[in-house]
Structure 1
Amino acid sequence: MSSEAPDAPDVPADRVEHVRIEDEMEQSYIDYAMSVIVGRALPDVRDGLKPVHRRILYAMHEMGVTSRTSHRKSSSIVGETMGDYHPHGDQAIYDTLVGMAQEFSMRYPLVDGQGNFGSMDGDPAAAMRYTEARMAPIAETLLEDIEKDTVDFSGNYDDRLTEPDVLPAAYPNLLVNGSTGIAVGMSTNVPPHNLGEVIDATIELIDNPDCDTNDLMEHVKGPDFPTGANIVGRNAVRKAYATGRGRLRVRAEFEVEDWKKDRKRIVITELPYQENKARLVERIAENVNEGKLEDISDLRDESDRNGVRIAIDLKRGANVDVVKNQLIEHHLEKTFGVINLALVDGQPKVLSLKETLAHYVDHRKEVVRRRTQFELDEAEDRAHILEGRLIALDNVDDVVELIRNSEDRDAAKAGLREEYDLSEDQSEHIVRMQLGSLTSMERTEIEQEYERVQETIEYLQSVLDSEEKLLGVIKDELRDVKDEYDDDRRTSFVEDTGEVTHEDLIPEEDVLVVVTEDDYVKRMPVDAFDAQHRGGKGIIGGDIKEGDRVSKVFRASTHDYLLCFTNHGQVYQLKAYQIPEMSRTARGKSAVNILDLDDGEEITAVVNTDDFEPDEAITMVTRNGYVKRTKTEDFQNILSTGIIAAKLDEDDELVDVDVTDGTKDLVIATEDGMTIRFDEDEVRTMGRNTRGVRGIRLTEGDHVAGLVATEEDDDKALLTVTKRGYGKRTLLSNYRRQSRYGKGLIDIKTNERNGHVTSVKAVEQDDHLVVMSEQGQIMRTRVSDISLQGRNTMGVTVMDVIDDDAVATVDVIPTPESTDEADADAEPEADEE
């Protein structure tokens, strides 16, 4: 025989229901989401607690671990909570217990912890077997009167015990301690508040049900975080209170100290809520090392048990306002997103400040009403017993005789009920009375107690009968809590002055920006370079590494917004102050940290957008002689990765750029010393992604060196400087206008002595020049030191360059407001090395 069991007989189903799988999935997901929302993630508007918080407190209450008992091992509390009420894992329960004990996490901690419960540095608490805990006194007010039928109870997870659906909550805990949580498809983030302010607002709402948000904000100034700090402005707070949602800017508290004769120190004493102190210090240090934060010499965390203290030492001569602004922008200010979402009758709802308080008041009315009814029932039961005792005392002899002659206790009770019309409870109490209670003194005490009980009954009944009196009880109890636990506000307000930009704090000054072929960049104050006579060697302007050389130097203001054009035909937008300021001898900072340049891409021209006027155009010239004009409005929205300024042939590069307005002449100069001048109208405006038209016919081996835009009657001169440091000035009027795409005229002789042309500029008599060599020598001189000459001349020595060096770039400093006559007479400075 086969050992297999016979097949079970087919049993037809009693009912078959056909369901679309998408409908079943949708409903199942909704059921799951609601179980998470209601059972785990969101607080109840009435007591401000999630189930796990409520269960921990109730477990401690049942264990008798109150603020008046000794501490108990956290593992014991966690075990009781998990075993009886919250079967979701001990670590999750312990993490919640820890949070309820951390003074930097909870405005009014509900647990009094003993041991290592973590720190603001993100350090975890010690294991639960090492720490101890008990209820904080304020937590007991949440459970007060829970045994007086004030709230509903439900069966626990295995129906062995019951647990409260909500706590009586003698104060509005949702607002006082706040709450945070992530549910399925929604989240809550309720900030903590000052207890006294919230209670005052609650009383205001009770007294004036028609009050609005502004009325309540007369009491609740705003969130009050356990870590203090400052809220920037009040408008966002008002919006959050009115709508239940908002974004608050929270800024650290700091002050500036003098710590040496000429040095300052920024000391941070309060941090935004939920900021990790150690991580903050680490991020600041990283930014200092990366050069994103300048003028900081030292950073220390000097915090102790008395509070936060982070000391930031500044370098000598540092601009304190700039450093403060950078710290605020990147480190010391956080956004707290208010989402006042809580469960109302088991449903999630975003609540305004008034709605939150109104739901709490409704809850307290229910709690006080149920407690009053419970106490009234007890008082009436006691009065009923006392009435029976008084009847017995009035007939003491007959009662004693009846009891003595009764066969047993039950017969005695029956006799008393029949003889004196007593209830079961009254007769039971009389039978159990001791003989000593029959004295006259005892009678007096019973009569006095009966009068007190009757007064209590009358009072309790009046509370139940009068809404006004019931609300008065609620207000009195709220005031008692405030008197016991109120403290000073920790979080202050600072005025929102709007977006503070770097331009607002950085002094406006002229600077020289130096760029190398390997994309190192820096800025230096123009005033760091005194004017010399022409022909000097200059001084060190940069520590150029081996194989690198200077490609561009240009003047700018620290407040300028610059368009940086590259040899690849791209354009980037840059704020001048973003370029790090460094000493003359410093190499500079890699430009890839500032601009997203490709390999081999270098800046060849810079335009200041502050100079833009309506109907102006950017005029560009390429190495192979192409010229194009593009309206300035096409350069309004520049991405961080740059945009195309000109379409270039594979062997071509963008050389120079100028701003024109349609009325100028264009002068294009070549490396071999040729120039051509023509009306810019010969070059129509075109889009960015175009090549342009031919501007000059180049001889073989020649290339464009630069571009100058000039007025027809311009009395400026054309300054031409060559690689070997020679140059000359020639009035622009000496260059006659021709048609575009001609060979042009001879401007300067580019023989072996001079070398090729490296730069051309339009200059005035009082201008200054900044000339920089490829190896980093820099020289400032007066234009007037370079004599006016005709075209087709050799020029004079502008800068004395050594044999293996060459002039890299020239820029013009417009007429200075003042000059130092002593410097004018000074001899040329030698190289400092």
Structure 2
Amino acid sequence: MTKTAAAKGEIRVTPLADALGERYLAYAMSTIVSRSLPDVRDGLKPVHRRLLFAMRQLKLDPDGGFKKCARVVGDVIGKYHPHGDIAVYDTLVRLAQDFAVRYPLVEGQGNFGNIDGDNAAAMRYTEAKLTAVAAALMDGLDEDAVDFRPTYDGTEEEPVVMPAAFPNLLANGASGIAVGMATSIPPHNVGEICDALDLLIAKPDCAVDDLIARMPGPDFPTGGVLVEGHAAIAEAYRTGKGAFRLRARWTVEKLSHGLYQIVITEIPYQVQKARLIERIAELLGEKKLPLLADIRDESAEDVRLVLEPRNRTVEAALVMEQLFRQTDLESRVPLNMNVLDANSVPRVMTLKEVLRAFLDHRMVVLERRSRFRLDKIDRRLEVLDGFLKVYADLDTVIRIIRYEDNPKAGLIARFNLTEVQAEAILNMRLRSLNKLQEVEIRTEHDALSAEKAGLVALLADEGRRWRVIASQIAVTRKTFGGDTPLGRRRTELGEVPAAVVVPIEAFVEREPITMVLSDKGWVRALKGHADTSPEALKFKEGDELRCALKTWTTDKILILSTDGRFFTLGGDRLPSGRGHGEPLRLMIDLAPEADVAAVMIHQPGRRLLLSTDAGRGFIVQENEVLAQTRAGKMILNVGEGEKASFCLPVEGDAVAIVGQNRKMLVFMIEEIPELTRGRGVILQKYRDCGTADIKMFTLADGLTWALGERTRTETVLTPWLGKRASVGRLPPSGFPRTNRFS
């Protein structure tokens, strides 16, 4: 080490990790304690506290006039908060926004921004003063209610914490991100907070659930509907961590001709209205809101967003459910009550701990203010005692003052006074030397003596102090509680919404259509329930009608291919009936070697009997065969050389099956297993043929088949009744030679 280096100071070799760790820890603690986390006692961060104190020093009282915000910001950064003016001004602006703060601490004059997200005007154009809430927070600062500390340059002093006659932490909430920790506390209703505080004073051992009964949940400045369950709210308050589900408030306005519109009057907390409208417009442009036709902003001073549904048959609840899922019309407000306790130690507190910390702080403030007042009374009584001693002999007092070289010493010696008493007498005006003034002094002395006795009794009795605190809380409730326009609850406590399944019918205009499928696989949808006679339908040369279904645009069409795969088509997705339609293979991924085996309209909850042409099958729930993609869903596994051929709704209690060998078998449905996928079981045993037809019916009603334009019913079926997988026997006489029931 050189002499020059030694002269500058000691040089220590320190590992980089240790040096960085030490400095980062110092930075982290500074961020946590001096910037990001609020104090549990007054709910303020240092910048808020310094801003309010600077405005108080500028005498910007609620009953006074306004001053330019630039003047306020200048005082704050010049005397108390050595940071950027923009950060301080942004803090001032937020404290004045009634849509951002439940109980504003600053009253602004000028442009302070709006709920659309527009910024406030520059600080040179706006003016501000304190509100009654801020005044309540600082009530008692001049009465030694809290400690003061030197400012950053040591020229002045600032309060360490506010006396806080107003429960600001819970009433206005807080948010902040520190190093390795964060805080997020939503605002609450001060009247409900006061009710909870009263309960905690009366029953210090009460449970959190008892507090929640009086303080059921947050109360946001922008209103909305709280739809979180009671159990989740209780758990959040019990642990200090959780979240609250908040939705916009909406109503339905009826219009003429059966039309209606949805009007949103309140949006969730901290959601910018302009950005919300932009998001909804984006989703409309992307066609992700099929139930919604348009949105308009008709807001003035109040929020009014008008939503036009796509058609009058759509339910308003379904429209809103879709918006809740995809936009900020529903948001989750987190709860993380991570705050600085009375010892400036950050920790997560429960609701009860936060309320207890506020009450303990109010107790400290009451004791300090009482002692301060007691000290003032003692000093004043000392002076008044001196006055009373000399009023009996005012001539002597005048003579001593007039002729003595040291009148103070003379008065002390003559009347046995203290220096304070003698100084007060010497500073007394001559006009006060009359009998009337003596009466006033005795009256004041008696009043102060009585007040002193009350303060001494108050400091000696904890129960009495708690009663005083309860009376102070009652004043806060009366001033800012639910009976005032500011204190009325704005957020509605709603029920937990049930899981709403938005059906396809809600997305589509319900209109009648007729699905036409040709033998060569061309599909189209005719408007209405059209005539499907061969004379009314036209096909390409060599093509003909395979099937026609009279259905609706809101229906789902099930298609079974011969390889055992199911496909699902929406009625609204079918091509227009103009021309010959489109090939079905363009709409579903039908295998090249496969063909259509069956087409039917989906009915939720129904059961289907599936079978191959080889007589193997099973029963499946119809809901299980719905396919979500064009690739379809494999349900019936077919063997080599087999084809899926039959798809019948399960009806009655018996099955009649006829083979190509003209053998008929009747057995009970209960013998067929219900599966979700597979090859199934043997329905009828064959040697060198397959299944010709299957029919489901009620055994007691008999088996019916068509004979030309007539029908025949066979009620005596004992000869053909057997077990599944039997061979069967020849059908009754008169059974069609086609081996089909219809």
- Post-superposition offset of 1:762: 8.0
Find 1:387's aligned residue among 385, 388, 402: 385
Does residue 324 (structure 1) correspond to residue 320 (structure 2)? The answer is: yes
- Post-superposition offset of 1:561: 13
Question: Which residue of 1 is the match for residue 484 of structure 2?
Answer: none
> Whole-Å Cα distance in 2 between the matches of residues 504 and 600 of structure 1?
19
TM-score by length of 2: 0.74
Does residue 341 (structure 1) correspond to residue 338 (structure 2)? The answer is: yes
Question: Deviations for 1:696-746, whole angstroms, at most 9, x for unmatched residues?
Answer: 4xxxxxxx997668999863899xxxxxxxxxxxxxx9x99579xxxx99x
**Matched position secondary structure for 2:428:** coil
Residues 658, 98 of structure 1: alpha-carbon distance in 2 compared, 3 angstrom cutoff: same
Question: Which residue of 1 is the match for residue 677 of structure 2?
Answer: none
1:356 maps to amino acid: V
- Post-superposition offset of 1:237: 1.9
Q: Show the 5 A alignment for 1:598-747.
A: 602=589, 657-659=634-636, 666=638, 680=639, 695-696=640-641, 715=657
> Whole-Å Cα distance in 1 between the matches of residues 708 and 271 of structure 2?
61
Q: Show the 5 A alignment for 1:206-285.
A: 206-232=201-227, 233-285=229-281
> Whole-Å Cα distance in 2 between the matches of residues 424 and 248 of structure 1?
65
Does residue 457 (structure 1) correspond to residue 462 (structure 2)? The answer is: no
> Whole-Å Cα distance in 1 between the matches of residues 220 and 694 of structure 2?
61
TM-score by length of 1: 0.67
> Whole-Å Cα distance in 1 between the matches of residues 696 and 56 of structure 2?
91
Residues 765, 499 of structure 1: alpha-carbon distance in 2 compared, 3 angstrom cutoff: closer
> Whole-Å Cα distance in 2 between the matches of residues 313 and 639 of structure 1?
29
**Matched position secondary structure for 2:219:** coil
- Post-superposition offset of 1:348: 1.5
> Whole-Å Cα distance in 2 between the matches of residues 479 and 448 of structure 1?
31
Does residue 501 (structure 1) correspond to residue 501 (structure 2)? The answer is: yes
> Whole-Å Cα distance in 1 between the matches of residues 150 and 627 of structure 2?
61
Question: Which residue of 2 is the match for residue 776 of structure 1?
Answer: none
Question: Deviations for 1:320-377, whole angstroms, at most 9, x for unmatched residues?
Answer: 3322321233232211111122111212211111111100001111111111111110
Find 1:420's aligned residue among 415, 423, 447: 415
Q: Is the contact between residue 75 and residue 128 of structure 1 (CA under 8 Å) also seen in structure 2? A: yes
Question: Deviations for 1:540-575, whole angstroms, at most 9, x for unmatched residues?
Answer: xxxxxxxxxxxx99999979899999x9x9999x9x
Computed over aligned residues only, the root mean square deviation of the Cα atoms, in angstroms, reads 4.8
- Post-superposition offset of 1:419: 2.7
Question: Which residue of 1 is the match for residue 668 of structure 2?
Answer: none
Question: Which residue of 2 is the match for residue 756 of structure 1?
Answer: none
> Whole-Å Cα distance in 1 between the matches of residues 142 and 82 of structure 2?
24
Question: Which residue of 1 is the match for residue 532 of structure 2?
Answer: 532
> Whole-Å Cα distance in 2 between the matches of residues 132 and 203 of structure 1?
38
> Whole-Å Cα distance in 2 between the matches of residues 269 and 343 of structure 1?
37
Question: Deviations for 1:435-491, whole angstroms, at most 9, x for unmatched residues?
Answer: 332211111111111111111111111221111121222121221122122221111
> Whole-Å Cα distance in 2 between the matches of residues 278 and 620 of structure 1?
60
Residues 318, 430 of structure 1: alpha-carbon distance in 2 compared, 3 angstrom cutoff: same
Find 1:88's aligned residue among 69, 83, 100: 83
Q: What is the number of equivalent residue pairs in this alignment?
A: 637
Residues 762, 535 of structure 1: alpha-carbon distance in 2 compared, 3 angstrom cutoff: farther
> Whole-Å Cα distance in 1 between the matches of residues 413 and 452 of structure 2?
28
Question: Which residue of 2 is the match for residue 482 of structure 1?
Answer: 477
Question: Which residue of 2 is the match for residue 286 of structure 1?
Answer: 282
> Whole-Å Cα distance in 2 between the matches of residues 717 and 527 of structure 1?
39
Find 1:358's aligned residue among 353, 356, 359: 356
> Whole-Å Cα distance in 1 between the matches of residues 314 and 387 of structure 2?
89
Question: Which residue of 1 is the match for residue 739 of structure 2?
Answer: none
Question: Deviations for 1:95-115, whole angstroms, at most 9, x for unmatched residues?
Answer: 111111111111111111111
Question: Which residue of 2 is the match for residue 181 of structure 1?
Answer: 176
- Post-superposition offset of 1:494: 1.4
Question: Deviations for 1:360-419, whole angstroms, at most 9, x for unmatched residues?
Answer: 001111111111111110011000000011111123233222222211xxx111122223
> Whole-Å Cα distance in 1 between the matches of residues 577 and 167 of structure 2?
61
**Matched position secondary structure for 1:76:** helix
**Matched position secondary structure for 1:261:** helix
2:241 maps to amino acid: R
> Whole-Å Cα distance in 2 between the matches of residues 167 and 405 of structure 1?
52
**Matched position secondary structure for 2:234:** helix
- Post-superposition offset of 1:305: 1.0
Question: Which residue of 1 is the match for residue 69 of structure 2?
Answer: 74
**Matched position secondary structure for 2:161:** coil
> Whole-Å Cα distance in 2 between the matches of residues 254 and 280 of structure 1?
15
Structure 1 gap ranges (5+):
1-6, 517-521, 540-551, 588-598, 622-628, 643-652, 661-665, 667-679, 681-694, 697-703, 719-732, 748-760, 767-782, 788-833
- Post-superposition offset of 1:317: 2.8
- Post-superposition offset of 1:609: 12
Q: Is the contact between residue 257 and residue 265 of structure 1 (CA under 8 Å) also seen in structure 2? A: yes
- Post-superposition offset of 1:764: 6.3
> Whole-Å Cα distance in 2 between the matches of residues 530 and 130 of structure 1?
72
> Whole-Å Cα distance in 1 between the matches of residues 632 and 164 of structure 2?
75
1:338 maps to amino acid: L
Q: Is the contact between residue 189 and residue 340 of structure 1 (CA under 8 Å) also seen in structure 2? A: yes
> Whole-Å Cα distance in 2 between the matches of residues 330 and 435 of structure 1?
82
Question: Which residue of 1 is the match for residue 430 of structure 2?
Answer: 435
> Whole-Å Cα distance in 2 between the matches of residues 580 and 22 of structure 1?
68
Q: Is the contact between residue 264 and residue 314 of structure 1 (CA under 8 Å) also seen in structure 2? A: no
> Whole-Å Cα distance in 2 between the matches of residues 654 and 477 of structure 1?
72
> Whole-Å Cα distance in 1 between the matches of residues 560 and 657 of structure 2?
29
Question: Which residue of 2 is the match for residue 492 of structure 1?
Answer: 492
Structure 2 gap ranges (5+):
482-486, 518-522, 540-547, 579-585, 661-681, 698-704, 710-742
**Matched position secondary structure for 1:446:** helix
**Matched position secondary structure for 2:331:** strand
> Whole-Å Cα distance in 2 between the matches of residues 419 and 75 of structure 1?
59
Moved more, 277-286 or 486-495: 277-286
The alignment-based identity, stated in percent, is 34
Q: Is the contact between residue 655 and residue 694 of structure 2 (CA under 8 Å) also seen in structure 1? A: no
> Whole-Å Cα distance in 1 between the matches of residues 571 and 24 of structure 2?
55
Find 1:200's aligned residue among 182, 195, 200: 195
Q: Is the contact between residue 523 and residue 582 of structure 1 (CA under 8 Å) also seen in structure 2? A: no
> Whole-Å Cα distance in 2 between the matches of residues 785 and 101 of structure 1?
88
> Whole-Å Cα distance in 2 between the matches of residues 11 and 571 of structure 1?
89
Question: Which residue of 1 is the match for residue 729 of structure 2?
Answer: none
